[in-house]
Amino acid sequence: MRATLMYSAGDVRVEDVPDSVIKQPTDALVRITASCVCGSDLHPYGSMKAEDGPARMGHEFIGIVEATGSEVTTVKKGDLVVAPFAISDNTCEFCREGLHTSCAHAQANFWDGLADEGGQAEAVRVPLADGTLAKLPVAPDSALIPSLLTLSDVLGTGYHAAVAGGVNERTRVTVIGDGAVGLMAVLSAKRLGAEQIVLMGRHQARTDLGREFGATDVVSARGEEGIEAVRELTGGHGTHVVLEAVGHMPAYEQAVGVVRPGGVISRVGVPQYEQAPVGFGSLFGPNIRLAGGPAPVRAYIEELMPDILNGTIEPGKVFDATTNLDGVPAGYQDMADRKSLKVLINP
């Protein structure tokens, strides 16, 4: 079968690899019908060292179950399913608390942590299939597939940012980043009733989509100029919640600059740093809380799916390019160059 591998920064290839096969009685074999490139894939695309490759890529996919292990009971051959970016049993103590990204099962993992599997491919072995996979009540060629695919990561991640930040009808919100996750954070803040949503982004096509998703204001400036612009929009105080969807230090510093005293910074952009300001002059003095983390998107699928099925939300609009596997390397480059927002893959 064919699959995507990253060899080093800027070097993505689609190659023949051994077919995925069932290895454990809790596995399912899924033929992938839709997947995509994630903004977080661009971190290694910009920095991976050759000695760390080749790595199988892709952690967002929809597909058809082709076979199941002897212990799988919740999905069967022919089911259309979506997989979150984290593998979990959905039954352990942490999963029951809605924290599937900390699942205690020995096989729990992130897709990026499995050396021999990935979602940007023709097929994939899904460990812990009963807990990981969620069935979809549509046909594989449904017009809703792009929106349902966002349940695997970006919609759930944006929603997790908003939930972890405590967004409600009384909150003013700043979203930092106009990538797919940032736009999903805007949509999620709107869904939760935020009275003001300021989107900080520099690409008009993206910020226009952000306005469609619910942003009330757009600030294109960065750094101190951007911080000042947000404060001017919020009576000088900043916003109750900041949803940081980038992961780089300047975005975190911007978040510290625009959050209101007593507010929350909720981070879902994968941090590319380990040290950040948290002391008296940054977070402690103004009673600012730091929240967020890898989104347990499996916990949100059943909650968010009905809004997609009934047309209340259309998160699939973040996909502005479509390709087959042959076009995946170019898709990475287009996203890195900001020519594409998010690339949909039809294997």
* Residue that the structure tokens 């979203």 belong to: 175
Q: Which two structure tokens, joined as six digits, stand for 229? A: 């612009």
Please give the model's pTM, rounded to 2 decimal places.
0.96
pLDDT at position 45 is 96
Separation of CA 4 from chain center = 19
pLDDT, the chain, mean: 97
Are 206 and 341 contacting, i.e. CB atoms less than 8 angstroms apart? yes
Mean pLDDT of 65-77: 98
Determine how β-strand 11-16 pairs with β-strand 321-323.
Answer: unpaired
Mean pLDDT of 268-280: 93
pLDDT at position 110 is 96
pLDDT at position 58 is 97
For Cα atoms 256, 191, 286, give the angle at the middle one, nearest 5 degrees.
20
End-to-end CA, the chain: 11
Mean pLDDT of 147-172: 98
Question: pLDDT-derived band of residue 85, with 50, 70 and 90 as boundaries?
Answer: very high
pLDDT at position 138 is 98
Side chain identity at residue 292, one-letter code: G
pLDDT at position 27 is 98
Question: pLDDT-derived band of residue 5, with 50, 70 and 90 as boundaries?
Answer: very high
Mean pLDDT of 66-92: 98
pLDDT at position 236 is 95
pLDDT at position 190 is 98
Backbone angles phi, psi at 222, to 5 degrees: -115, 180
The string of pLDDT tens digits covering residues 175-193 is 999 999 999 999 999 999 9
Separation in Å, CA 272 to CA 41, 44, 93, 192, 202: 13, 11, 29, 29, 21
Question: pLDDT-derived band of residue 100, with 50, 70 and 90 as boundaries?
Answer: very high
CA–CA gap between residue 69 and residue 15 (Å, rounded): 27
pLDDT at position 249 is 96
The string of pLDDT tens digits covering residues 306-340 is 999 999 999 999 999 999 999 999 999 999 999 99
Choice between 167 and 113, residue whose per-residue pLDDT is larger: 167
Mean pLDDT of 98-125: 96
Mean pLDDT of 209-219: 98
Mean pLDDT of 15-37: 98
For Cα atoms 54, 66, 101, give the angle at the middle one, nearest 5 degrees.
55
CA–CA gap between residue 219 and residue 241 (Å, rounded): 16
Are 3 and 125 contacting, i.e. CB atoms less than 8 angstroms apart? no
